[in-house]
Amino acid sequence: MAINKLPGPVSSSNDIRLELRSWTEVDEYLKTCKGIILPIGSTEQHGPTGAIGTDAITAEAVAREVGRQTGVLVAPTQVFGMAEHHLGFSGTMSLRPCTLIAVVHDLVLSLARNGFERVFVINGHGGNIASLKAGFAQAYTSAMSQNLHRATYLSCKLVNWFMVKKVIHKAQELYGDMEGQHATPSEISVTLHVEPSLLSKQRPLPPPSPAGPIYGYEDFQRRYPDGRMGSDPFLAKATHGKVFIEQASIALIDDLFNFLSS
């Protein structure tokens, strides 16, 4: 079922936050748009200078900008993801893959029961990808087996803001090989733009360990003792973060429009 109408741009990201709406306002919204944006990240170490909430902060920032420009509702951010390989570092809080699958299943099914038909998931953590896709598959099966109203039209789409081509190209242009694979200057830049207080944590660091494979959290801590994977987060700048949010949002708005219209 195609979505008949996009709500249109709003002046503030607060205008599209689901948690600030009443249920009657959501009912009214559903009369013209069946789509919702769900940001998801992780609560895990990001090297000695990065915020533990980096993946959730970045996903939420991009999701709210996409929502602001389209008027599509944005659900509260799911801040816990599959981060078991980071458990050797203090502050990391991880869900098991099976738990994340169950969480995604339950959230999608809850939205479907309300009448939402399109769930656009903006992800900030690569370790979530497999579990998210499995959670979608389970939600489809449950919706059909329960004869859930509109189950035929239920669809989820996963997008990873950090994998947008323009974001990747800009990161390569700015940081080259020092972008690395974890605690990257691109994601740290977004957090500095969103939360300027994090600038006080930034400092020069020794050369990082080159990025490579991961075999559990003990192996991760041995290979990457300070938590970085080939990255130099000191290259991050708040001004870069603004650009990354803008570039990711432009690309994802097109994806969202096509998804809601399918």
Coil/strand/helix, residue 166: helix
Q: Is the pLDDT of residue 152 over 70?
A: no
Per DSSP, 182 falls in state B
- Binning pLDDT at 50, 70 and 90, where does residue 147 land? confident
The per-residue pLDDT for range 235-253, each reduced to its tens digit, is: 999 999 999 999 999 999 9
Residue 104 identity (one-letter amino acid): V
> What is residue 3's predicted lDDT score, i.e. its pLDDT?
57
pTM: 0.96
CB 27 within 8 A of CB 181: no
Q: Which has the closest alpha carbon to 118: 6, 259, 4?
A: 259
The per-residue pLDDT for range 186-220, each reduced to its tens digit, is: 999 999 999 999 999 999 999 999 988 888 999 99
Any bridge partners for residue 123, and if so which? 40, 160
- Binning pLDDT at 50, 70 and 90, where does residue 70 land? very high
The per-residue pLDDT for range 33-47, each reduced to its tens digit, is: 999 999 999 999 999
Per DSSP, 169 falls in state H
Q: Is the pLDDT of residue 9 over 80?
A: yes
Q: Is the pLDDT of residue 1 over 70?
A: no
Per DSSP, 142 falls in state H
Q: What number is the average pLDDT over the span 226-234?
A: 97
Neighbour tally for 198: CB within 10 Å: 20
The per-residue pLDDT for range 95-136, each reduced to its tens digit, is: 999 999 999 999 999 999 999 999 999 999 999 999 999 999
Give the separation between CA 238 and CA 236, rounded to whole angstroms: 7
Question: 13-256 falls under which CATH superfamily?
Answer: Creatininase (3.40.50.10310)
Domain boundaries, the chain: 13-256
Q: What number is the average pLDDT over the span 163-175?
A: 98
